[in-house]
Amino acid sequence: MTQQADLPDWAVQQTPNALAAAAFLVTPGSQDVLVSMTQPFRVWGAWLNVSIGSTSAYPAGFAYWGAKIKDSSGVDLIRLSLSCMIASFSDTDSLFLNMQGYQVFPSGGLWKVELDTDASIGNLNGRANGGIFYTVP
């Protein structure tokens, strides 16, 4: 056992009881609320998974599509985007970020975290999955 600086050597460090909130298969141009509370809470981790696919009629051009998780004050906690510039293309990527107890900022008396996706792009299909791990102090 590793000795902790602020704990006696016989003490066991406890992990806080983390809660999970997630949204799946979120379509372009959506805003899904993951957590909304009337009291403060802390975010310990955030994850995103984004998938895109272009049709065979995709016009030549470079496009980005993605999603982000943000708090009620508009601060982005995590963002993931994918790029496409050819027809009949598909891609998926995932990202996890350790947040170390980020204190969510309130807006209008609510502490809220939501998953937002970019607007739809012609002949490009996108889906996003994402979530957070949080505790209520």
The pair phi, psi for residue 113, each rounded to 5°, is -130, 135
In a structure prediction context, what are the per-residue pLDDT tens digits for the chain, which is 137 residues long?
444 455 555 555 555 688 999 999 999 999 999 999 999 999 999 999 999 998 887 766 788 899 999 999 999 999 999 998 888 889 999 999 998 899 999 999 999 999 999 998 888 899 999 999 999 97
Contacts of 6 (CB under 8 A, 6+ apart): none
Beta bridge partners of 65: 82
pTM of structure: 0.83
Separation between Cα atoms, residue 88 and residue 54, nearest integer Å = 5
The rounded radius of gyration (Å) of the Cα atoms in the chain is 19
CB atoms within 10 A of CB 11: 11
Residue type, 98: N
Distance in angstroms between the alpha carbons of the first and the last residue of the chain: 27
